[in-house]
Amino acid sequence: MGLCKFRGGEGGTQCMRPGIIWRFVGVAIIVVVCALAIWKLPINLGLDLRGGTRLVLEAKDTETVKADDDAVNRAKEVIERRVNQLGVAEPVIYRQGARRIIVELAGVKDPHRAREIVGRTAQLEFRDERGNVIMTGNDLKTAVAGYDQYSRPAVNFELSPEGARKFEKATLENIGRRIAIYLDEELLSAPVVQNVIKDKGQITGLGSMEKAKDLSMMLRAGALPVPLEVLHSEVLEPTLGQEAVDQSKVAALIGASLVVMFMLFVYKIPGLVADIALAIYAMIVVAALVSLKAVLTLPGIAGLILSVGMAVDANVIIFERIKEELRSGKRIRAAIEAGFSRAFGCILDSNITTLITAGALYAFGSGAVRGFAVTLGLGILASMFTAVVVTKLILVAIVDRNPEKYGKYFGA
Protein backbone atom coordinates (compact mmCIF):
# COMPACT_ATOMS: atom_id res chain seq x y z
CA MET A 1 0.00 0.00 0.00
CA GLY A 2 1.07 3.60 -0.59
CA LEU A 3 1.31 6.29 2.05
CA CYS A 4 -1.30 9.05 1.64
CA LYS A 5 -2.19 12.29 3.40
CA PHE A 6 -5.60 13.86 2.70
CA ARG A 7 -5.73 17.61 2.07
CA GLY A 8 -9.02 17.90 0.23
CA GLY A 9 -9.84 17.37 -3.48
CA GLU A 10 -7.68 15.49 -5.94
CA GLY A 11 -4.91 18.01 -5.63
CA GLY A 12 -5.01 17.81 -1.86
CA THR A 13 -4.26 14.13 -1.51
CA GLN A 14 -0.57 13.40 -1.19
CA CYS A 15 0.26 9.75 -1.90
CA MET A 16 3.43 7.77 -2.22
CA ARG A 17 2.59 4.89 -4.55
CA PRO A 18 3.55 1.34 -3.55
CA GLY A 19 7.09 0.37 -4.51
CA ILE A 20 8.12 3.84 -5.71
CA ILE A 21 10.84 4.16 -3.06
CA TRP A 22 12.38 0.85 -4.13
CA ARG A 23 12.32 2.00 -7.75
CA PHE A 24 14.20 5.14 -6.77
CA VAL A 25 16.70 2.99 -4.89
CA GLY A 26 17.15 0.82 -8.00
CA VAL A 27 17.78 3.86 -10.21
CA ALA A 28 20.19 5.29 -7.61
CA ILE A 29 22.15 2.02 -7.57
CA ILE A 30 22.41 2.10 -11.37
CA VAL A 31 23.69 5.71 -11.25
CA VAL A 32 26.29 4.87 -8.59
CA VAL A 33 27.51 1.79 -10.50
CA CYS A 34 27.79 3.83 -13.71
CA ALA A 35 29.68 6.61 -11.91
CA LEU A 36 32.15 4.08 -10.47
CA ALA A 37 32.67 2.49 -13.90
CA ILE A 38 33.37 5.88 -15.50
CA TRP A 39 35.75 6.80 -12.67
CA LYS A 40 37.66 3.51 -12.54
CA LEU A 41 37.78 2.31 -16.15
CA PRO A 42 39.68 4.01 -19.00
CA ILE A 43 38.06 5.08 -22.26
CA ASN A 44 39.67 3.36 -25.27
CA LEU A 45 40.26 5.79 -28.12
CA GLY A 46 40.35 4.74 -31.78
CA LEU A 47 42.96 5.41 -34.44
CA ASP A 48 41.48 8.78 -35.39
CA LEU A 49 41.71 10.06 -31.80
CA ARG A 50 44.75 8.18 -30.49
CA GLY A 51 46.83 7.09 -33.47
CA GLY A 52 48.46 3.67 -33.92
CA THR A 53 49.70 1.22 -36.56
CA ARG A 54 48.01 0.08 -39.75
CA LEU A 55 49.12 -3.01 -41.69
CA VAL A 56 48.01 -4.22 -45.12
CA LEU A 57 48.71 -7.97 -45.50
CA GLU A 58 48.27 -10.23 -48.52
CA ALA A 59 48.07 -14.03 -48.43
CA LYS A 60 50.44 -15.92 -50.75
CA ASP A 61 50.22 -19.39 -52.27
CA THR A 62 52.76 -22.06 -51.37
CA GLU A 63 53.63 -25.32 -53.08
CA THR A 64 51.32 -27.20 -50.75
CA VAL A 65 48.63 -24.69 -49.75
CA LYS A 66 46.56 -22.35 -51.92
CA ALA A 67 45.52 -18.99 -50.46
CA ASP A 68 41.82 -19.60 -51.00
CA ASP A 69 38.90 -18.09 -49.10
CA ASP A 70 39.07 -20.63 -46.28
CA ALA A 71 42.83 -20.18 -45.79
CA VAL A 72 42.51 -16.38 -45.64
CA ASN A 73 39.68 -16.65 -43.11
CA ARG A 74 41.77 -18.97 -40.93
CA ALA A 75 44.73 -16.58 -41.22
CA LYS A 76 42.47 -13.74 -40.04
CA GLU A 77 41.42 -15.83 -37.01
CA VAL A 78 45.07 -16.53 -36.11
CA ILE A 79 45.87 -12.80 -36.36
CA GLU A 80 42.94 -12.01 -34.08
CA ARG A 81 44.20 -14.49 -31.47
CA ARG A 82 47.70 -13.04 -31.63
CA VAL A 83 46.55 -9.42 -31.35
CA ASN A 84 44.19 -10.24 -28.50
CA GLN A 85 47.14 -11.66 -26.53
CA LEU A 86 48.99 -8.39 -27.11
CA GLY A 87 46.36 -6.63 -24.99
CA VAL A 88 45.44 -4.09 -27.68
CA ALA A 89 42.02 -2.58 -26.96
CA GLU A 90 39.50 -3.51 -29.65
CA PRO A 91 41.79 -4.06 -32.66
CA VAL A 92 40.22 -3.59 -36.07
CA ILE A 93 40.88 -6.60 -38.32
CA TYR A 94 38.97 -7.17 -41.54
CA ARG A 95 39.33 -8.63 -45.02
CA GLN A 96 39.69 -6.53 -48.14
CA GLY A 97 39.14 -8.29 -51.42
CA ALA A 98 40.04 -11.95 -51.94
CA ARG A 99 43.46 -12.12 -50.28
CA ARG A 100 44.10 -8.97 -48.27
CA ILE A 101 43.72 -8.49 -44.51
CA ILE A 102 43.76 -5.04 -42.92
CA VAL A 103 44.96 -4.73 -39.31
CA GLU A 104 44.57 -1.48 -37.35
CA LEU A 105 46.06 -1.36 -33.84
CA ALA A 106 45.19 1.77 -31.85
CA GLY A 107 47.98 2.93 -29.55
CA VAL A 108 50.66 0.62 -31.06
CA LYS A 109 53.47 2.86 -32.34
CA ASP A 110 56.09 0.19 -33.27
CA PRO A 111 55.28 -1.03 -36.81
CA HIS A 112 58.29 -3.38 -36.92
CA ARG A 113 57.13 -5.35 -33.88
CA ALA A 114 53.53 -5.28 -35.13
CA ARG A 115 54.71 -6.73 -38.47
CA GLU A 116 56.75 -9.39 -36.71
CA ILE A 117 53.87 -10.50 -34.53
CA VAL A 118 51.02 -10.24 -37.00
CA GLY A 119 52.67 -11.20 -40.28
CA ARG A 120 55.09 -13.93 -39.25
CA THR A 121 54.00 -17.43 -40.21
CA ALA A 122 55.39 -18.87 -36.94
CA GLN A 123 55.79 -22.40 -38.30
CA LEU A 124 57.81 -24.23 -35.63
CA GLU A 125 59.55 -27.48 -36.54
CA PHE A 126 61.74 -29.95 -34.65
CA ARG A 127 64.11 -31.85 -36.98
CA ASP A 128 66.63 -34.64 -36.45
CA GLU A 129 70.15 -34.65 -37.94
CA ARG A 130 68.83 -36.20 -41.15
CA GLY A 131 66.42 -33.30 -41.65
CA ASN A 132 63.29 -35.30 -40.85
CA VAL A 133 60.51 -33.30 -39.17
CA ILE A 134 59.82 -34.88 -35.77
CA MET A 135 56.97 -32.61 -34.76
CA THR A 136 55.64 -29.08 -35.34
CA GLY A 137 54.14 -26.23 -33.34
CA ASN A 138 50.74 -27.86 -33.74
CA ASP A 139 51.86 -30.51 -31.23
CA LEU A 140 52.34 -27.91 -28.49
CA LYS A 141 49.74 -27.62 -25.74
CA THR A 142 51.04 -24.35 -24.29
CA ALA A 143 54.11 -22.11 -24.41
CA VAL A 144 55.30 -19.56 -21.83
CA ALA A 145 58.27 -17.19 -21.86
CA GLY A 146 60.85 -17.76 -19.12
CA TYR A 147 64.55 -18.35 -18.56
CA ASP A 148 66.88 -21.33 -19.00
CA GLN A 149 69.34 -22.61 -16.38
CA TYR A 150 71.82 -19.89 -17.35
CA SER A 151 69.20 -17.10 -16.92
CA ARG A 152 68.90 -16.60 -20.67
CA PRO A 153 65.50 -15.89 -22.27
CA ALA A 154 63.70 -19.06 -23.34
CA VAL A 155 60.28 -20.48 -24.10
CA ASN A 156 59.08 -23.31 -21.88
CA PHE A 157 56.54 -25.50 -23.66
CA GLU A 158 54.24 -28.38 -22.80
CA LEU A 159 53.20 -30.92 -25.42
CA SER A 160 49.84 -32.38 -26.27
CA PRO A 161 49.40 -36.13 -25.64
CA GLU A 162 50.11 -36.87 -29.32
CA GLY A 163 53.10 -34.52 -29.34
CA ALA A 164 54.45 -36.09 -26.16
CA ARG A 165 54.38 -39.53 -27.79
CA LYS A 166 56.21 -38.21 -30.85
CA PHE A 167 58.85 -36.39 -28.81
CA GLU A 168 59.46 -39.29 -26.43
CA LYS A 169 60.05 -41.63 -29.37
CA ALA A 170 62.31 -39.11 -31.16
CA THR A 171 64.47 -38.32 -28.13
CA LEU A 172 64.78 -42.02 -27.31
CA GLU A 173 66.10 -42.69 -30.82
CA ASN A 174 68.41 -39.62 -30.89
CA ILE A 175 70.25 -39.70 -27.54
CA GLY A 176 73.70 -38.18 -28.11
CA ARG A 177 72.53 -36.53 -31.33
CA ARG A 178 71.18 -33.06 -32.05
CA ILE A 179 67.53 -32.10 -32.56
CA ALA A 180 67.31 -28.72 -34.30
CA ILE A 181 64.50 -26.25 -33.66
CA TYR A 182 63.47 -24.09 -36.62
CA LEU A 183 61.07 -21.15 -36.78
CA ASP A 184 60.04 -20.33 -40.35
CA GLU A 185 63.19 -22.10 -41.64
CA GLU A 186 65.40 -20.06 -39.29
CA LEU A 187 67.55 -22.14 -36.94
CA LEU A 188 66.90 -21.17 -33.31
CA SER A 189 68.94 -23.82 -31.53
CA ALA A 190 70.20 -27.40 -31.95
CA PRO A 191 70.70 -28.95 -28.52
CA VAL A 192 72.17 -32.42 -28.00
CA VAL A 193 69.65 -34.89 -26.57
CA GLN A 194 70.95 -36.00 -23.16
CA ASN A 195 67.97 -38.11 -22.09
CA VAL A 196 64.42 -39.02 -23.03
CA ILE A 197 62.02 -36.06 -22.97
CA LYS A 198 58.30 -36.74 -22.67
CA ASP A 199 55.82 -33.88 -22.35
CA LYS A 200 57.86 -30.74 -21.56
CA GLY A 201 60.78 -28.93 -23.17
CA GLN A 202 62.49 -25.61 -23.71
CA ILE A 203 63.41 -23.43 -26.69
CA THR A 204 66.54 -21.32 -26.29
CA GLY A 205 68.71 -19.11 -28.48
CA LEU A 206 66.13 -16.31 -28.71
CA GLY A 207 68.34 -13.40 -27.72
CA SER A 208 65.92 -11.26 -25.69
CA MET A 209 62.93 -11.63 -23.39
CA GLU A 210 60.76 -9.63 -25.81
CA LYS A 211 61.47 -12.20 -28.54
CA ALA A 212 60.72 -15.01 -26.09
CA LYS A 213 57.38 -13.43 -25.18
CA ASP A 214 56.47 -12.81 -28.83
CA LEU A 215 57.37 -16.37 -29.84
CA SER A 216 55.40 -17.90 -26.95
CA MET A 217 52.42 -15.74 -27.88
CA MET A 218 52.60 -16.78 -31.56
CA LEU A 219 52.93 -20.46 -30.63
CA ARG A 220 49.85 -20.25 -28.39
CA ALA A 221 47.87 -18.51 -31.13
CA GLY A 222 48.99 -21.02 -33.78
CA ALA A 223 50.83 -20.81 -37.08
CA LEU A 224 49.38 -19.03 -40.08
CA PRO A 225 47.95 -21.46 -42.65
CA VAL A 226 49.50 -19.45 -45.50
CA PRO A 227 52.35 -16.90 -45.62
CA LEU A 228 51.32 -13.24 -45.37
CA GLU A 229 53.27 -10.53 -47.17
CA VAL A 230 53.23 -7.07 -45.58
CA LEU A 231 52.34 -4.81 -48.50
CA HIS A 232 52.20 -1.65 -46.44
CA SER A 233 52.69 -0.56 -42.85
CA GLU A 234 52.51 2.88 -41.31
CA VAL A 235 52.30 4.67 -38.00
CA LEU A 236 49.17 6.78 -37.95
CA GLU A 237 49.06 9.94 -35.89
CA PRO A 238 45.65 11.05 -34.60
CA THR A 239 43.98 12.11 -37.87
CA LEU A 240 41.96 14.86 -36.27
CA GLY A 241 44.53 16.42 -33.99
CA GLN A 242 43.93 17.77 -30.51
CA GLU A 243 42.37 20.98 -31.84
CA ALA A 244 39.67 19.08 -33.74
CA VAL A 245 38.96 16.90 -30.69
CA ASP A 246 38.63 20.00 -28.49
CA GLN A 247 36.28 21.57 -31.03
CA SER A 248 34.14 18.43 -30.99
CA LYS A 249 33.91 18.62 -27.20
CA VAL A 250 32.83 22.26 -27.36
CA ALA A 251 30.24 21.47 -30.04
CA ALA A 252 28.86 18.61 -27.95
CA LEU A 253 28.68 20.84 -24.85
CA ILE A 254 26.90 23.63 -26.73
CA GLY A 255 24.45 21.19 -28.30
CA ALA A 256 23.63 19.55 -24.97
CA SER A 257 23.21 22.95 -23.30
CA LEU A 258 20.79 24.12 -26.00
CA VAL A 259 18.74 20.93 -25.63
CA VAL A 260 18.59 21.37 -21.84
CA MET A 261 17.49 25.01 -22.12
CA PHE A 262 14.89 24.19 -24.78
CA MET A 263 13.29 21.50 -22.62
CA LEU A 264 13.21 23.83 -19.60
CA PHE A 265 11.72 26.72 -21.58
CA VAL A 266 9.05 24.71 -23.41
CA TYR A 267 8.04 22.08 -20.82
CA LYS A 268 8.94 23.68 -17.46
CA ILE A 269 9.00 21.03 -14.67
CA PRO A 270 8.54 18.07 -17.09
CA GLY A 271 11.44 19.56 -19.08
CA LEU A 272 13.59 19.63 -15.93
CA VAL A 273 12.70 15.98 -15.34
CA ALA A 274 13.70 15.19 -18.92
CA ASP A 275 17.05 16.94 -18.39
CA ILE A 276 17.71 14.86 -15.25
CA ALA A 277 16.86 11.70 -17.19
CA LEU A 278 19.19 12.90 -19.96
CA ALA A 279 22.09 13.22 -17.50
CA ILE A 280 21.42 9.68 -16.24
CA TYR A 281 21.23 8.52 -19.86
CA ALA A 282 24.68 9.98 -20.60
CA MET A 283 26.17 8.23 -17.55
CA ILE A 284 24.67 4.88 -18.57
CA VAL A 285 25.98 5.09 -22.14
CA VAL A 286 29.52 6.15 -21.17
CA ALA A 287 29.64 3.48 -18.43
CA ALA A 288 28.49 0.84 -20.92
CA LEU A 289 31.17 1.91 -23.42
CA VAL A 290 34.01 1.70 -20.89
CA SER A 291 32.69 -1.55 -19.38
CA LEU A 292 32.49 -3.22 -22.81
CA LYS A 293 35.96 -1.83 -23.64
CA ALA A 294 34.53 -0.35 -26.80
CA VAL A 295 36.75 1.94 -28.87
CA LEU A 296 35.56 5.52 -29.08
CA THR A 297 36.09 7.19 -32.45
CA LEU A 298 34.84 10.51 -33.78
CA PRO A 299 31.96 8.79 -35.66
CA GLY A 300 31.22 7.08 -32.34
CA ILE A 301 30.99 10.45 -30.64
CA ALA A 302 28.64 11.54 -33.43
CA GLY A 303 26.48 8.49 -32.77
CA LEU A 304 26.42 9.36 -29.06
CA ILE A 305 25.31 12.94 -29.74
CA LEU A 306 22.69 11.72 -32.21
CA SER A 307 21.24 9.35 -29.65
CA VAL A 308 21.02 12.27 -27.17
CA GLY A 309 18.64 13.96 -29.59
CA MET A 310 16.66 10.74 -29.90
CA ALA A 311 16.46 10.45 -26.09
CA VAL A 312 14.98 13.95 -25.86
CA ASP A 313 12.66 13.17 -28.76
CA ALA A 314 11.13 10.29 -26.77
CA ASN A 315 10.41 12.66 -23.86
CA VAL A 316 8.83 15.20 -26.22
CA ILE A 317 6.48 12.54 -27.59
CA ILE A 318 5.51 11.49 -24.06
CA PHE A 319 4.85 15.06 -22.87
CA GLU A 320 2.73 15.86 -25.93
CA ARG A 321 0.66 12.72 -25.36
CA ILE A 322 0.12 13.79 -21.73
CA LYS A 323 -1.06 17.20 -22.94
CA GLU A 324 -3.53 15.55 -25.29
CA GLU A 325 -4.92 13.46 -22.43
CA LEU A 326 -5.30 16.56 -20.26
CA ARG A 327 -7.16 18.37 -23.06
CA SER A 328 -9.56 15.44 -23.30
CA GLY A 329 -10.58 16.07 -19.67
CA LYS A 330 -8.50 13.56 -17.76
CA ARG A 331 -6.91 14.45 -14.45
CA ILE A 332 -3.16 14.70 -14.21
CA ARG A 333 -2.47 11.25 -12.74
CA ALA A 334 -4.63 9.49 -15.31
CA ALA A 335 -3.18 11.68 -18.06
CA ILE A 336 0.39 10.66 -17.15
CA GLU A 337 -0.48 6.96 -17.18
CA ALA A 338 -2.36 7.24 -20.47
CA GLY A 339 0.31 9.48 -22.02
CA PHE A 340 3.13 7.02 -21.30
CA SER A 341 0.98 4.10 -22.44
CA ARG A 342 0.08 5.75 -25.77
CA ALA A 343 3.60 7.04 -26.44
CA PHE A 344 5.35 3.74 -25.67
CA GLY A 345 4.29 2.01 -28.89
CA CYS A 346 5.47 4.92 -31.04
CA ILE A 347 8.81 5.17 -29.20
CA LEU A 348 9.38 1.40 -29.37
CA ASP A 349 8.68 1.21 -33.11
CA SER A 350 10.96 4.12 -34.00
CA ASN A 351 13.80 2.83 -31.82
CA ILE A 352 13.54 -0.72 -33.15
CA THR A 353 13.93 0.52 -36.73
CA THR A 354 17.00 2.54 -35.70
CA LEU A 355 18.41 -0.46 -33.82
CA ILE A 356 18.04 -2.56 -36.96
CA THR A 357 20.03 0.06 -38.88
CA ALA A 358 22.71 0.13 -36.16
CA GLY A 359 22.89 -3.68 -36.25
CA ALA A 360 23.34 -3.67 -40.02
CA LEU A 361 26.10 -1.04 -39.77
CA TYR A 362 27.91 -3.14 -37.17
CA ALA A 363 27.50 -6.41 -39.07
CA PHE A 364 28.62 -5.14 -42.47
CA GLY A 365 30.76 -2.15 -41.54
CA SER A 366 34.27 -1.96 -40.15
CA GLY A 367 36.48 0.35 -38.15
CA ALA A 368 34.92 3.72 -37.40
CA VAL A 369 31.56 2.65 -38.86
CA ARG A 370 31.31 -0.07 -36.21
CA GLY A 371 32.19 2.48 -33.53
CA PHE A 372 29.30 4.65 -34.70
CA ALA A 373 26.96 1.64 -34.67
CA VAL A 374 27.96 0.60 -31.13
CA THR A 375 27.45 4.03 -29.58
CA LEU A 376 24.20 4.56 -31.48
CA GLY A 377 22.84 1.17 -30.41
CA LEU A 378 23.82 1.62 -26.76
CA GLY A 379 22.36 5.13 -26.84
CA ILE A 380 19.03 3.90 -28.13
CA LEU A 381 18.73 1.22 -25.45
CA ALA A 382 19.71 3.66 -22.70
CA SER A 383 17.29 6.31 -23.99
CA MET A 384 14.43 3.80 -23.90
CA PHE A 385 15.19 3.07 -20.25
CA THR A 386 15.56 6.70 -19.15
CA ALA A 387 12.56 7.98 -21.11
CA VAL A 388 10.11 5.22 -20.19
CA VAL A 389 11.32 4.29 -16.68
CA VAL A 390 13.30 7.17 -15.14
CA THR A 391 11.20 10.04 -16.51
CA LYS A 392 7.95 8.38 -15.48
CA LEU A 393 9.29 7.54 -12.03
CA ILE A 394 10.28 11.16 -11.29
CA LEU A 395 7.11 12.65 -12.80
CA VAL A 396 4.88 10.35 -10.79
CA ALA A 397 6.77 11.14 -7.58
CA ILE A 398 6.42 14.89 -8.17
CA VAL A 399 2.76 14.83 -9.12
CA ASP A 400 1.83 12.52 -6.25
CA ARG A 401 3.08 15.11 -3.79
CA ASN A 402 0.54 17.68 -4.96
CA PRO A 403 -1.36 16.95 -8.19
CA GLU A 404 -3.17 20.32 -8.20
CA LYS A 405 -0.01 22.35 -7.71
CA TYR A 406 2.21 20.57 -10.22
CA GLY A 407 -0.45 19.54 -12.73
CA LYS A 408 -0.68 23.08 -14.16
CA TYR A 409 2.94 22.89 -15.36
CA PHE A 410 2.03 20.25 -17.91
CA GLY A 411 -0.14 22.74 -19.85
CA ALA A 412 -3.17 21.43 -21.67
pLDDT digits (tens, 9 = 90+) for 292-333: 877 777 777 777 777 777 778 888 888 888 888 888 888 888
pTM for this one? 0.63
What percentage of residues in the chain have a pLDDT greater than 90? 4
- 205-242 confidence digits (pLDDT tens): 777 888 888 878 777 777 677 888 888 887 777 665 56
Half-sphere exposure of residue 245, counting CA atoms within 13 Å on the CB side? Answer: 15
Higher pLDDT, 258 or 116: 258
Residue 33 has pLDDT above 90, yes or no: yes
pLDDT higher than 80, residue 362: yes
Q: Check residues 70 and 90 and name the one with the higher pLDDT.
A: 70
Asked if pLDDT for residue 10 goes beyond 50, the answer is no
Among 358, 394, 401, residue whose Cα is nearest residue 378:
358
Q: Quick one: pLDDT band at residue 290, thresholds 50, 70, 90?
A: confident
**Span 152-199, pLDDT tens digits:** 888 888 888 888 898 889 988 888 888 888 877 778 778 888 788 888
Could you give all domains of the chain from N- to C-terminal order, each with its CATH number? 3-47+240-410 (1.20.1640.10), 51-236 (3.30.1360.200)
Res 407 pLDDT > 60: yes
Task: Decide if pLDDT at 383 tops 60.
Answer: yes
Higher pLDDT, 171 or 255: 171
Cα–Cα distance for residue pair 281/261, rounded to 1 Å? 17
